[in-house]
Amino acid sequence: MIKGKQDGGAPNRSPAALDPPPAPTTPPKRTARAGIGPTEAAWRDVVVQYARLRGWLCYWTWRSDHSPRGFPDLVLVRAGRLIAAELKSEAGRLRPEQEAWLRALRDVPAIQTAVWRPSQWEEVRDALV
């Protein structure tokens, strides 16, 4: 499938440009934030890259300032599974609005929820296999 802007991906490209990138095998290198770890945006990019490689459809809100506060960072769908994931840097904390959304979604049958940090890379990888 050619990924376009409608699924949060890059603009449509030629088929040769659609070859999947190599799978990340380690979490992203430390960046910014006084060496604590990658930013949430860098962490999201790694998770999305790996999820797409494994065949997941990925959605994230491009500009959250026009959306309800606290909705999870990523919604991933594949083969009858839906994961709502909040991505946090190592030092990041869940806000009350984020906790409320995750609690509400956790009560919906067949929706998995998660809070993923870079130090949990193996758990993320296992969840997306």
**pLDDT at residue number 35:** 56
Which residues, 6 or more positions from 87, have their beta carbon under 8 angstroms from its beta carbon? 40, 43, 44, 47, 73, 74, 115, 116, 117
CA distance 20 to 34: 32
**pLDDT at residue number 15:** 42
Query: What is the full per-residue pLDDT of the chain (129 aa) written as tens digits?
Result: 333 334 444 444 444 444 444 555 555 554 444 556 889 999 999 999 999 999 999 999 888 888 889 999 999 999 999 999 999 999 999 999 999 999 999 999 999 999 999 999 999 999 999
**pLDDT at residue number 27:** 54
Tell me the torsion sign for CA atoms 121, 123, 127, 129.
positive
Which residues, 6 or more positions from 52, have their beta carbon under 8 angstroms from its beta carbon? 3, 9, 20, 58
Which domains, ranges and CATH numbers included, belong to the chain?
Answer: 38-127 (3.40.1350.10)
Strand partners, 85: 74, 114
